[in-house]
A and B are shown apart, each in its own frame.
Chain A
Amino acid sequence: MTIDKHTQFTQNDFGGSINTDEILDTFEFLEDWEERYAYIIDLGKKLPEFPESEKVEANYVHGCQSQVWLIHYLDKASGKLYLLIDSDALIVRGLAAIVLAAMNAKSPNELLAVNVEEIFEKMDLIRHVSATRGNGLRSMVKKVQVIAEQLI
């Protein structure tokens, strides 16, 4: 069971080869909103599979217009925190992928040092993090941070 869970959470490239620097580099060369959103949506398509059985109230991220689920797993051996996120909205999945690239596979302390707002600012996507938006990126990030704080 633990082996399964370990595999489920760790067999992906988020926080590894899919990381913030790489995303920012690519993003810089995208010319218009069509390309930018196509890229964001494509990133979302790379999200690791989220187990259907975990789509329950306890894992639901509230405050989102779309449905968002988030689960985590702390790998005791490495001390790294792994996350899985899913949403029924394409753009939110993409934004979740950007969050994962920045926060996945880090120790809770490293994770808390990540400034997600700054990343979204650089990508000119800051509106998505603002409190007024119902897509809940903010709630998503907050939830990750709370999880990390509790693990310290």
Chain B
Amino acid sequence: MNQQAVESNNDSKMTFDIKAVRKSFPILDQNVNGKPLIYLDNAASAQKPDTVIQSISDYYCHDNSNVHRGAHTLGDRATAAFEGARETVRRFINAASTKEIIWTGGTTEAINLVASGLTASLKADDEIIVSRMEHHANIVPWQMLAERTGAILKVIEINEAGELQEGAFDKLLTERTKIVAVTQVSNVLGTINPVKEIIDKAKAAGAITLIDGAQAVPHFLVDVQALDCDYFVFSSHKLFGPTGIGVLYGKEDRLNALPPYQGGGEMIERVTFEKTTYNELPYKFEAGTPPISEAIGLAKAIDYFTVFDRQSIELHENNLLNYANSMVSDVPGMRIIGTAASKVPVMSFMIDGLHPSDIGTLLDQQGIAIRTGHHCAMPLMDFYGLPGTARASFAFYNTQSEVEKLFECLQKIQRLFT
């Protein structure tokens, strides 16, 4: 932890000093195409603080070893760090037990694990509800499940602003609904969905709930017990942690009822050629050597930003978004896709006369990294009748002057090239 970055606050959390925070992210300090890098592609993958990078290096320099083997000191250290990371994640989302924290390769694998495990629970004409704004990762595994079982996929439609249509979910929810899988935050629109309400209703109807938290956890605190969802999934790399690891949270009874996903080492209790019995949670779902350094890095990432007063981070991010919104009208022909009342700092936009890929290329020339394209949400693009959007997504290490620079560059692009 960069000590200058923090100063004490009453409730022992730290208010954050943006300059010092930026110093903790070594990658931000570089020129791209001759200009200082402005990284606004955080929704695709966020940058890593030096403590995360250091922890991975330290692990390989001092502790690297396989976990849960118990034969030697390095193995004990690795296991302690690895299981400590699980506890950090448990605390972060307030799960009841570390048994409920399953390491996966990421959000995508976590959803596939659940969708695969529910195969035997579904029959023809059962229904699975998703929303129009889902990432493909929260569509395709359910489509595949529907294909395997004869179940039917139902879609909660949205309004122009990019919010779930009022009452649409209620109309879809019936006794045939077996699974409700929705995103807490849209990766394209930034919309924060009222998932608590959805979970409560789904639960009352007897449906299993899965919340895609990939875009939520980088921006606000989530309490899975308060949400009361059955499953909650997210990726480390969008949460300032390493790639290659993600989290499946599941209620213990749900996970116990779910069959294993992959077979192999670690996930077994006893193997004979006649019969294999499975290990207990969480190991039942962790076949093979797990992502050890990645888990340790993720825990460091969580340690890094949970030090700060959450409200001051949210305020800062909100200010970034409001500031950006206030400048949209200065760019002729610019419009925002996704104007929900409740949003994280994600801004999808179009500029008349320019294709999103033009905007991306021309911003890149000025050192600004954004994402362009369909953002793995083609059904959502179809709704808006767009081939794709340009998307600037902010993280807490972005600054007001970066937002200003973005708009300066957008104005310039609009002036020169349309």
| Interface residues of A, Cβ cutoff 8 Å to B | 33-34, 37-38, 41, 65-67, 87-92, 134-135
Contact = CB atoms under 8 A, between A and B. Distances in A.
B342 interface: no
Interface of B: 33, 353-358, 361-362, 365-366, 372-373, 387-388, 412, 416-417
A91 B33 contact: no
Contact of A34 (B357, B358, B416): B416
A90 B388 contact: no
Contacts of B357: 65-66, 89, 91-92, 134-135
5 contacts: A33-B33, A37-B365, A91-B355, A91-B357, A91-B361
A66 B417 contact: no
Given A33-B33, A37-B417, A92 B355 contact: yes
A79 B368 CA distance: 46
A90 B33 contact: no
B358 A90 contact: yes
The residue in B353, B357, B417 that gathers the most chain A C-beta atoms within 10 A of its C-beta is B357
A65 B417 contact: no
Contacts of A134: 357, 372-373
Contacts of A33: 33, 365-366
A90 B353 CA distance: 8
Pick the 10 closest A-B CB pairs, nearest first: A89-B355, A33-B365, A65-B357, A89-B357, A90-B358, A66-B357, A65-B373, A91-B358, A66-B355, A91-B361
A91 B417 CA distance: 10
B387 A88 contact: yes
Contacts of B372: 65, 134
A38 B417 contact: yes
A59 B284 CA distance: 49
Contacts of B356: 65
A64 to B, nearest CB: 9
B355 A88 contact: yes
The residue in A37, A66, A89, A135 that gathers the most chain B C-beta atoms within 10 A of its C-beta is A89
Given A33-B365, A37-B362, A90-B358, A67 B416 contact: no
A26 B366 CA distance: 22
Given A37-B362, A38-B416, A90-B358, 10 more contacts: A33-B33, A34-B412, A37-B361, A38-B417, A65-B388, A66-B357, A89-B358, A91-B355, A92-B357, A92-B358
